[in-house]
Structure 1
Amino acid sequence: MLKKNGKFMLLALMILTLVVGCSSSPKTEVKDAGNATPAPEATNAPTASGDTQKIVYVLNNEADKLDPGLTAETFATPIISNVFEGLVQMNDKYEPLPGVAKEWKVSPDGLVYTFTLRDDAKWSDGSKLTAKDFFYSWKRVMTAETASDYSFMMYPYIKNGEKFFKGEVKEDELGIKVINDTTLEVTLEAPSPYIMQLFAFSCYMPVQQAAVEKDKDAWHRKAETFISNGPFKVKELKFGESYTLVKNENYWGKDNVRLEEVKFSIVPEMATGLTAMESKKVDGINGVPTAEIARLKAGDDRFIVLPALGTTYYLLNNKVKPLDDEKVRKALALAINRKEIVENVTQGGQQPAFALIPNGMTLEGKDFREAGGSYGLTETGDVEAAKKLLAEAGYPDGKGFPKLSLKYYSGDIPKKVTEALQQMWKKNLNIDLELKSSEWKVYYKEIQDYDYGIASMGWGGDYAHPMTFLDVFNSKSPNNMTNWGSSDYDQQVDSAKKELDPAKQLEAMHKAEDILMNEMRILPVYHSTNVMMMAEYVKGWNRNILGNIYFKDAYVEGRGK
């Protein structure tokens, strides 16, 4: 239960249902039967006298890269979502709305999308934004040398994209054609039910060629070269301290943008952020210390729990002994009491996770998770079965089990969940693991280099479809950091992307998850929520189930009352 506007509201996570189309026509519908509202809606009410249209919002982590074409870091999205814009945007029902493109048409076979760009589309420096900018930006993502973390979210969908990525065809053979300055024609390899959601995603957003090529590695780390096209632009970047955005006077929809400034303050300790919130030094915080959730839930109208489409899991380094043994991996999974973790550790309405893909996405009339099952996992675990498997693997009562590293990145929740897992595995399996932590930038590099035994990680959906999770563990994905790959898994994922029959597409996706989970290549722990606080005088903001927070329609009204 959570309290907002003086009324208790039921957490909407379990009730939120995404009906995901599997035909060639993109169709996604969100149904929310709960009473929770994500945020106050914008109105045309005049701004109260004396209200300053500036806010400060606290983030607890910062990304290493703020380049929308390169980064897959969740911590970059608050900035990218507010300073860039793609061809389209998504509404609350995940239906496409005009963005840089004012209109579009789709061929009857679902293969060719023709976008008409706005005549007044501009970059934040005032220069004209054209279809050529999208061609450059997308080609850049699909160029192997660019090393984009999200190239795999583009090249399989664009005609000849994968061949271009491999260097087998030239750029003029890509399914991206600039008809004129305001017309972009995109041809797909096969119809996709979620392609419009991809067109709205960050790696499909344009970047300015002149800005990028002045300093390819660091253009996004300096305010003077950070040229964007969204409702806000970067005024100041102080890494480790704050990012300051201001209203973009060259944005096509500038007349509807009411905030003059959004300052993202970097405060690693959630407790420090909460203190600033309660002393009214900031207007919102992106996370709340777990120890304070019960108190805030009971008596603070600014405390909010929102549904999220995400899963927290622990990576297993599948080539490190004894984690290369399926029995060991399953023993670790069975020895986890997930109910205890979500009720006593995270306490933010999270749900125990028994697989990669969360509940809430309905395909062909069935919830994907419910149809897929739980792979032998339960809320409280099965300690006896775990002990038996560990003994069969050659480690009876944990004897001889090596002291592997158990890593997490700096933060309240990762720390507490990792400590809880360490204690469970010691109590239930009598194995000792060495806790190690580091701040995100260092941690992420360690994980990418497979410098870990077991490590905290997770994935939040980039779009509302199971494929956003399955794609992560494709052996070609740079986000697959398990030190494992499977040609059978890849085949099922690739088949699902190209399959036109909805039932066969669904079958291929289930087969892919079966391979991952039956072999227990990761350890799912819980499905996420977004726990945050926002001052009630900040209105019109929106945070969707993908975790992205938007301030384009936000404004301040009633500050100080």
Structure 2
Amino acid sequence: MKKIICMILSVALCGTFVLSGCGKQDKNGGDGTADKKENEKEIVVATNSETGGLDPAGMIALTYLAYSVSALDELLTYNEAGEIEYRAAESYEVNDDSTVWTFHLRKDAGWSDGTPVTADDFINTMVRSLDPKSGNGYANYLYPIKNAEAIYNGEADADSLGVKAVDDNTLEFTLEKPCVYFLDLLRLPVYTPSCVKYADEVGSGWDKDPKTSVANGPFYLDEYVPEQYFVLKKNEKYWNADKVKLDKITYRFFDDQQSMASAYETGEVDVAPALLSSVMELYEGKDDLVITDTIATRYIYPNLNVKPLDDVRVRKAINLGINREELCSMVGADTEPTVNFIAKYMKDKQSGGYFVDGAEPPFEENLEEAKKLLAEAGYPDGKGFPKLTYSYPSLEMDSDTAQVLQEQLKKNLNIDIELNAQELQVNYTERKAGNFDLCRMNWTADFADPYTYLSMLLSNGTYNCSGIRDEKYDALVEQSDTEKDPVKRAELMHQAEQLAVGEEFYIIPLYSMKSCNLIRPEIKGITQIPATGALEYRYAELEE
């Protein structure tokens, strides 16, 4: 399969290369982007088709993640050396029992329209995120804050939230109990500010209107054309503007990775991230090719509210009956089999090694045992097993994965799976609504702690869309939240993953990934976000 894809992509790239002299879209209007001024330093980045909005309190998807990495400053983050990098905040202190955290904002921090950034801007995002109508999947990461969960569940008023503006430049959090990874959470959308002057209701449209979509980061929104592109311009009012070398970053939407690769070949874009693995062969030995580790896991949610997926024997049989080595050999060289939920490349902060290597794998594939389990569940040799539907985004990698899984489950367990390819936005919406039997899921770490994965399966988790309710699992994760001994905490998190993935089989892990990126060699200063592995462009520059 991947050889065929490589041949198709080769033909496509050769075709676009031959035609590039007369068929290349002009950046001054052919693709709808703004006129490029003389000597203006601009890069054009390819990104996946438009999903979600730009409001940190709204539904977070790929478009927000592309935008926010260059346009919004969180309070603080961690650099590649694991050291704190202050952004919107310049310092913080915490009380003795780690339940009160006080952050001091930069007095020189301002929004791109000149409005000062204040503590109320951070509170604005949090309060709006805790309204279930916002559709924000990250709201549960606010739950360590006093009364946050009660507010989300309609059991308390928003003004009881344990966050207050001591003054314009001082933000104080009061937690329900100590949370050892609280600083890690601060890079998440729900902890990011939104200007109270403009950011009102989620979905009102302020976030995609350049007149109201102000930014407190290195770049701000200058233009947004739905389903085509958006343009970020340098924020001259940014506190660290002297270190920002680019004048403009344009993000162009593409429906598939092949189109992104073709656009790179013709010069239509300067950066094409997360491409098909076949590009590795085509660009082997060239400076354009940059391979990075992605801290992500591709997996499947079985809906526990759909029979027979409510039977753990069925979920286990499907897990044990998949040949992940074969799957990865068919899907691409940028994938590696995994039976873990926590990402393969997530580092253990204490040991420096990979976290998943600190425990035995949750399970091992075993086709004979899978068949036995299916028979015990009442489906010997797959007889009488109802046809289930597998829903997935209509992207190349996911389509290839779906076809291989369909073939394997039929061959190995005599189970028929109907494939349901969906537009990316539709897949997000249907999964969140619980409208699926089996649903593809990909989770890229949001912060550098295994909790970013384990929280997905909590009974009260906003991303728990498959009906998981497990008090024992919840208790293990909750215990790890407050355990200050890193060795003991790691053991608790390993136990939680083993319970969820190796005993109850709440998910079907498939593979981890590397990211195949094409970047113009003259672009320097692009870095990786340590927590996620994603590319960051805020301090990129063009070599003279």
Bin for the TM-score computed over the shorter chain: 0.7 to 0.9
Q: 1:527, CA displacement in angstroms?
A: 1.5
Q: 1:130, CA displacement in angstroms?
A: 1.2
1:142 and 2:127 correspond: no
**Which piece of structure 1 moves more, 467-476 or 139-148?**
139-148
Equivalent residue, structure 1, for 2:73: 85
Structure 2 residue identity aligned to 1:345: V
SS of the equivalent of 1:375 reads: coil
Kept in 1: contact 2:299–2:507 (CA 8 A) = yes
Structure 2 residue identity aligned to 1:94: G
In structure 2, the CA distance between the partners of 1:385 and 1:549, relative to structure 1 (3 Å rule), is same
SS of the equivalent of 1:209 reads: coil
Equivalent residue, structure 2, for 1:27: none
Q: 1:392, CA displacement in angstroms?
A: 2.0
**Which piece of structure 1 moves more, 77-86 or 212-221?**
212-221
CA distance in 1, matches of 2:348, 2:290: 26
1:318 and 2:304 correspond: yes
2:422 counterpart (438, 446, 450): 438
2:511 counterpart (522, 526, 534): 526
1:200 and 2:184 correspond: no
Kept in 2: contact 1:51–1:556 (CA 8 A) = no
Q: 1:476, CA displacement in angstroms?
A: 1.4
Q: 1:346, CA displacement in angstroms?
A: 2.4
SS of the equivalent of 2:275 reads: coil
After TM superposition, the structure 1 = structure 2 runs for residues 292-441 of structure 1, keeping only pairs within 5 Å, are: 292-296=279-283, 298-348=284-334, 350-359=335-344, 360-362=346-348, 365=351, 368-377=355-364, 381-441=365-425
Equivalent residue, structure 2, for 1:540: 525
Structure 2 residue identity aligned to 1:310: A
Kept in 2: contact 1:473–1:479 (CA 8 A) = yes
TM-score by length of 2: 0.87
Q: 1:159, CA displacement in angstroms?
A: 3.0
1:177 and 2:176 correspond: no
Q: 1:57, CA displacement in angstroms?
A: 0.7
CA distance in 2, matches of 1:171, 1:313: 35
1:288 counterpart (275, 279, 282): 275
Residues 110-168 of structure 1: per-residue CA shift (max 9 Å, x gap): 3332222112211111111112222222233334454432111012x223333444455
Residues 401-451 of structure 1: per-residue CA shift (max 9 Å, x gap): 222111210211111111111111111112221111011111111112222
**Which piece of structure 1 moves more, 307-316 or 131-140?**
131-140
CA distance in 1, matches of 2:250, 2:305: 43
CA distance in 1, matches of 2:260, 2:68: 22
1:116 and 2:137 correspond: no
1:505 counterpart (489, 492, 506): 489
Equivalent residue, structure 2, for 1:268: 255
CA distance in 1, matches of 2:372, 2:153: 46
Kept in 2: contact 1:81–1:202 (CA 8 A) = no
Kept in 1: contact 2:103–2:172 (CA 8 A) = yes
* Structure 1 gap ranges (5+): 1-49
**Which piece of structure 1 moves more, 469-478 or 169-178?**
169-178
Equivalent residue, structure 2, for 1:449: 433
1:211 and 2:195 correspond: no
Equivalent residue, structure 2, for 1:128: 116
Residues 174-195 of structure 1: per-residue CA shift (max 9 Å, x gap): 3323222222222333333322
Residues 307-341 of structure 1: per-residue CA shift (max 9 Å, x gap): 12111101111121221221211111112111122
CA distance in 2, matches of 1:194, 1:273: 37
CA distance in 1, matches of 2:147, 2:432: 28
CA distance in 1, matches of 2:389, 2:154: 39
Equivalent residue, structure 2, for 1:188: 175
CA distance in 2, matches of 1:504, 1:214: 43
Equivalent residue, structure 1, for 2:25: none
SS of the equivalent of 1:468 reads: helix
CA RMSD of aligned residues (A): 2.2
Matched pairs, number? 503
CA distance in 2, matches of 1:527, 1:343: 13
In structure 2, the CA distance between the partners of 1:75 and 1:419, relative to structure 1 (3 Å rule), is farther
1:53 and 2:5 correspond: no
SS of the equivalent of 1:213 reads: coil
Higher-RCO chain (CA-CA 8 Å, sequence separation at least 6): 1
Kept in 2: contact 1:319–1:484 (CA 8 A) = no
In structure 2, the CA distance between the partners of 1:99 and 1:457, relative to structure 1 (3 Å rule), is same
SS of the equivalent of 1:304 reads: strand
SS of the equivalent of 1:481 reads: coil
CA distance in 2, matches of 1:390, 1:191: 44
In structure 2, the CA distance between the partners of 1:538 and 1:145, relative to structure 1 (3 Å rule), is same
SS of the equivalent of 1:301 reads: coil
Kept in 2: contact 1:308–1:544 (CA 8 A) = no
Kept in 2: contact 1:543–1:550 (CA 8 A) = yes
SS of the equivalent of 1:299 reads: coil
CA distance in 1, matches of 2:52, 2:120: 28
Structure 1 residue identity aligned to 2:291: V
SS of the equivalent of 1:323 reads: coil
Q: 1:247, CA displacement in angstroms?
A: 0.7
In structure 2, the CA distance between the partners of 1:473 and 1:214, relative to structure 1 (3 Å rule), is closer
CA distance in 1, matches of 2:433, 2:129: 22
**Which piece of structure 1 moves more, 206-215 or 428-437?**
206-215
Equivalent residue, structure 1, for 2:4: none
1:243 and 2:227 correspond: no
CA distance in 2, matches of 1:190, 1:504: 18
TM-score by length of 1: 0.84
CA distance in 1, matches of 2:441, 2:76: 30
Structure 1 residue identity aligned to 2:187: A
